[in-house]
Amino acid sequence: MKIYSALFTLLFVFGCQKKQSLQVTADSISPQRKHIILMHPTVSNIKTFKYLVENKIFPLPEDYKAIGVYHSLEEYNYMDTEDFIKQKGITNVVLVRIDAEFSANNIFKSNSCSDVFKTLFEKSNGAIFFGGPDIPPSCYEEQTSLLTTITDPYRHYMELSFLYHLLGGDQDSTYTPLLNIRPDYPILGICLGMQSINVATGGTLYQDIPSELYNQKTIEEVMNTQQNQQHRNYQTNYSLDAEVTYYFYHQIALENDSPLRTYVSSDTIHPYVWSSHHQCLKQLGQGIKVAARSMDGKIVESINHLKFPNVLGVQFHPEKKELYEPNDKIRISPLKPAEFSYIDLYSGDKGESFQRAIWREFASKFR
């Protein structure tokens, strides 16, 4: 393994199996608790994170540092992230590479990365798990649907194992989760991140919303249903226009005892969110509680944790820049002009204020 360094960035390499090959130990990360962990630190996710922080949407302390964590066998080329960090002169982001051998059989138990996960937890004050592709169903002991596409298994294995170490699950009733040490440690799971929280704690997923929950077999059937029953923009399947967004607007219903209730100004508000997914939570994991559902009650849209109050999962995407830029017109239909921005349609209480509150509240917990 090599230690890559430059004037503006460091890459910490953790060998989780062969300790003799370690060249930098976990102690190399400063022990100050102003680090936030970013899982899957692609260029796109670093750009998104930077945008949210710099525009005070996610108002972190000025002296925070971010730790980007990834697995060496992920499909993404993280040299691109290194190059981006160097080119932009970013001084407060470091990358941590995990090299453990993971499979669906060893992620929900103590393994060769347990010590590294513990160190990352001790050296940080919060974590974000971003969106991504389908989780291998073997991770929740189900067979793989023909509609499930597994593209990045090692990312899932590592992130699920990290979340299991943080939160525990019903896979092993004797395991003591890391958050027992600091129960107020904040975790935000976005889309895949929320699904990963559920699976890591012992939950399962519906592998395809249209076919399993609505008995729909074609794209046209989905698009002919009401707006609040569509959870991604299936017009992208036609491949007629590369500018068409994969995301779709719909409302959500907040549970009466949900912490998200404080993010809206009235109990009658059903904020519009932006989502792109075809899978959703089925059986809930250990300690997981529903915080919001789709308007028809079939889809879990947000979760929190019964024991750890600052764990939040959302099935939608509050991180997207397009939600906050009034001039970003979004193309919904192929070969038709992009007429409206999210703010044109859903400003203020209709949705924008809700998205902003998610980041504002998460930042306050990080502090």
The CATH architecture one would assign to domain 11-206 is 3-Layer(aba) Sandwich (3.40)
In this prediction, residue 267 carries a pLDDT of: 84
pLDDT of residue 252: 98
In this structure, the number of other CB atoms found within 10 A of the CB of residue 208 comes to 18
pLDDT given for residue 24 in this prediction = 33
Could you tell me how far CA 42 lies from the centroid of its own chain? 13
For CA atoms 247, 253, 256, 262, the dihedral sign is: positive
- Per-residue pLDDT 10s for the chain (367 aa) are 333 333 233 444 444 443 332 223 455 677 666 899 999 999 999 999 999 999 999 999 988 999 999 999 999 999 999 999 999 999 899 999 999 889 999 999 999 999 999 999 999 999 999 999 999 999 999 999 999 999 999 999 999 999 999 999 999 989 999 999 999 999 999 999 999 999 999 999 999 999 999 999 999 999 999 999 999 999 999 999 999 999 999 999 999 999 999 999 988 899 999 999 999 999 999 999 999 999 999 999 999 999 999 999 999 999 999 999 999 999 999 999 999 999 999 999 999 999 999 999 999 998 6
Report the candidate in 166, 109, 196, 114 with the shortest Cα–Cα distance to residue 310. 166
What's the Cα-to-Cα distance from 184 to each of 35, 36, 271, rounded to whole Å?
15, 14, 27
DSSP state, residue 289: E
Answer yes or no: are the C-beta atoms of 233 and 332 closer than 8 Å.
Answer: yes
User: Contact at 8 Å (CB) between 27 and 150?
Assistant: no
- pLDDT (0 to 100) of residue 100: 87
- The closest alpha carbon to 164, from 215, 213, 114, belongs to 114
Residue 105 burial (CB count, 10 A): 11
Spatial CA neighbour of 6 closest among 82, 98, 78: 82
What pLDDT does 27 receive?
A: 55
**pTM recorded for the entire structure:** 0.93
The reported pLDDT for the residue numbered 20 is 31
Tokens 């919904």: give the residue.
332
If residue 192 lies in a helix (H) or strand (E), which one and from where to where?
A: helix 192-200
SS3 327: coil
* Residue 33, pLDDT score: 65
What residue segments make up the domains of the chain, in order of their start? 11-206
